[in-house]
Structure 1
Amino acid sequence: MARNGVEIRGLRELIRRLERATNGELRREFALWLEATGFQFLEEIQQEIIRTQTVDTRRLLNSFDKGDGDNVWSITDRGLTLEIGSNLSYASYANDGHWQERRFIPGRWNGHTFEYDSGANTGMMLKAKWIEGTGYWDSALLIFERIFERALERKLQQWLDTF
């Protein structure tokens, strides 16, 4: 999954100066707020996966959560960094699109749904074609950037008023 970032000019310097004035209390406040915004971004990604009907399994949806091996979640306190993503190999393919190769998939049809079964003698043949991506990550990032900008302005004003 591609890593994207939001750069705010002067933010580090402002936080550094406020931190000196508050004996580090602002740093702790900012770290808590940053983690909360990370959870908000995860929620936006999950909502976009659902809205765009990206997959009908929950593996991709659940890969955007904090705490298991398929997740990328990193918060660094001193560097003020938050990384969010998925280690699933197909997460970027579902977002960006990809070429599907011609191949046989073993399994069974139950009505209109196909169930994969590696030991089945029956199955389906996939044809080579371009699978369009849904852009769930890109949409979530655009939504989050708008939310983040307003939330940061409010939070900075709150911190300035408090400290």
Structure 2
Amino acid sequence: MRIDGLDEFIQALDEAIDGGLQNQYQLWLEAMGFEFLDTVETRRLLNSFQKGDADNIFSTSAGNLTLDVGTNLEYASFVNDGHFTIDPSKNQDRRWVPGRWIGDRFQYDPNAETGMLLKFQWVDGSGYWDSALAIFERMFERSLDRKLQEWLDEF
């Protein structure tokens, strides 16, 4: 997301208040990252988006309005975009996955004698990331407008 002239505006305000705005701007940007995470509703996958997690991407920067939030977990893209249950390049039509069913949830266990048989098929993605991003873009714009007005009023 790029907002032309925002950095110059922030710099002018920052100079006017002797550098105090930069800290507030950075705190607000990080808070926006957490608000984005709140829009991602994926149960356990959501845990992979927490700040500080080894599989996570969460960085903020105040100077150029940079906010990176995401995950390095490969299956996150499968959930969002959809996937085949079996890699089509392996020329298989089924695959055994060891584990057990607990209620309506499957728990993978490589040592289990029970499991499930996956047949080759396409699983539609949920689009959770795309939906969260669309919601967040609207939230971000409104929040930025409010914050800029607050900073102008305060300083």
Give the TM-score normalised by the residue count of structure 1: 0.82
The 1-side partners of 2:4 and 2:143 are apart by: 16
Aligned residue runs from structure 1 range 5-154, under 5 A: 6-45=1-40, 48-49=41-42, 58=44, 60-101=45-86, 102-110=94-102, 112-154=104-146
The 1-side partners of 2:102 and 2:12 are apart by: 64
Structure 2: 5+ residue runs without aligned partners? 87-93
- Does the residue aligned with 1:38 lie in a helix, a strand or coil? helix
Distance 1:124 1:19, change over 3 A: same
Shift of 1:113: 4.2
The 2-side partners of 1:112 and 1:44 are apart by: 25
Structure 1: 5+ residue runs without aligned partners? 1-5, 51-57
**Which residue number in structure 1 is paired with residue 89 of structure 2?**
none
Residues matched between the structures, number: 148
Q: CA RMSD of the aligned region, Å?
A: 1.7
Residue identity over aligned pairs, in percent, reads 57
Shift of 1:111: 5.7
- Does the residue aligned with 2:126 lie in a helix, a strand or coil? coil
- Does the residue aligned with 1:90 lie in a helix, a strand or coil? helix
Whether 1:160 aligns to 2:152 is yes
- Does the residue aligned with 1:141 lie in a helix, a strand or coil? helix
Higher relative contact order, structure no. (Cα contacts within 8 Å, ≥ 6 residues apart): 1
Shift of 1:63: 0.7
**Which residue number in structure 2 is paired with residue 54 of structure 1?**
none
Deviations 1:47-81 (A, max 9, x none): x325xxxxxxx2x1211111110211111243331
